[in-house]
Chain A
Amino acid sequence: DTVLTQSPALAVSPGERVTISCRASESVSTLMHWYQQKPGQQPTLLIYLASNLESGVPARFSGSGSGTDFTLTIDPVEADDTATYYCQQSWNDPFTFGSGTKLEIK
C-alpha cells in the first residue's frame, strides 16, 4: 500500500503562513487530495488533484506538488483553521490517507 507520511502537529500564530507536507512512499502522480477535519465533525474536501481548490473553500488554502511530495499551504492562517488536515491518494490501489497533521493556532 502507498504510505503517506505527514508531520503530526504544528502550531502557528494567526496571520502567519503555514505549510503542511505529505510525502508518499511511491509516486501518486497528481492524484493527491486534502481534507480538513474540525473536532467532532466529518472531514471536508479542501483541495483535489494536488492543486485544485474545492468550491467554497477560501483562497487562503492552496496545494502543490506531484509525484511523491505534496504541500498544503494556508496563508494567512486564521483561528478557525484549527483542525486536523489529512492527505489522501487515489492513484494506487487501495486509496490511502495520511495520519493527519493537527494544526494549533496559538
Chain B
Amino acid sequence: EVQLVESGGGLVQPGRSLKLSCLASGFTFSNYGMNWIRQAPGKGLEWVASISSSSSYIYYADTVKGRFTISRDNAKNTLYLQMTSLRSEDTALYYCAREYYSGDGWFAYWGQGTLVTVSS
C-alpha cells in the first residue's frame, strides 16, 4: 500500500524558515517524480514544486521560486521542502503527492498533509 506521511509543519514567524519532510513507503520511491501541493485554509489547491525521480528536473511555482527548495533522498525514501523567508500567504496545508508515472504531471497518491502557519 502506497503511503506518504508528511511532517515538519507548525507555527512560524514571518521571515523565518521551516523544513517539511514526506516519508514514502509501499512503492519504489526512486522511480517516481514527487510534488508538493498546498491548500490555504478554505481555499483551493496550488501546485508548489516538483522533482523528478533522480532530481535531474526541478520546477517551482513563481510564488515560491527563490524561497523554497525541493529535494529528495532516495536512500531514505524521503522528500523535502525547505521553506525560507516565509510569508503569511504561505499559510496552508502542504501535501506531498506522487506522480502516476515519472514526469507525467498528475497525482495518483497524496499524503494527509502537514499544516504550516505563518504568523507573528
Contact = CB atoms under 8 A, between A and B. Distances in A.
A is bound by B: yes
B44 interface: yes
Interface in A6-53: 31, 33, 35, 37, 42-45, 48-49
Interface stretch (A58-66, A72-80, A92-100): A92-100
B106 A88 contact: yes
Nearest to A96: B47
Contacts of B100: 45, 48
Interface residues of A, number: 22
Contacts of A48: 100, 106, 108
Interface string B108-120: 1011110000000
A104 interface: no
B45 A33 contact: no
Given A42-B95, A42-B113, A93-B59, A88 B108 contact: no
A42 B111 contact: yes
Contacts of A43: 45, 95, 107, 110
Contact of B112 (A42, A45, A49, A94): A42
Contacts, number: 52
Q: Give the size range of B's interface with the partner.
A: 10 to 19
B44 A100 contact: yes
Given A42-B95, A42-B113, A54 B45 contact: no
Contacts of A70: none
A5 interface: no
15 contacts: A42-B95, A42-B111, A43-B45, A43-B95, A44-B110, A45-B100, A45-B108, A48-B106, A49-B106, A86-B45, A88-B106, A88-B107, A90-B106, A94-B61, A97-B46
* A-B complex: 6 closest residue pairs judged by Cβ atoms: A90-B105, A42-B110, A33-B106, A95-B47, A97-B45, A99-B44
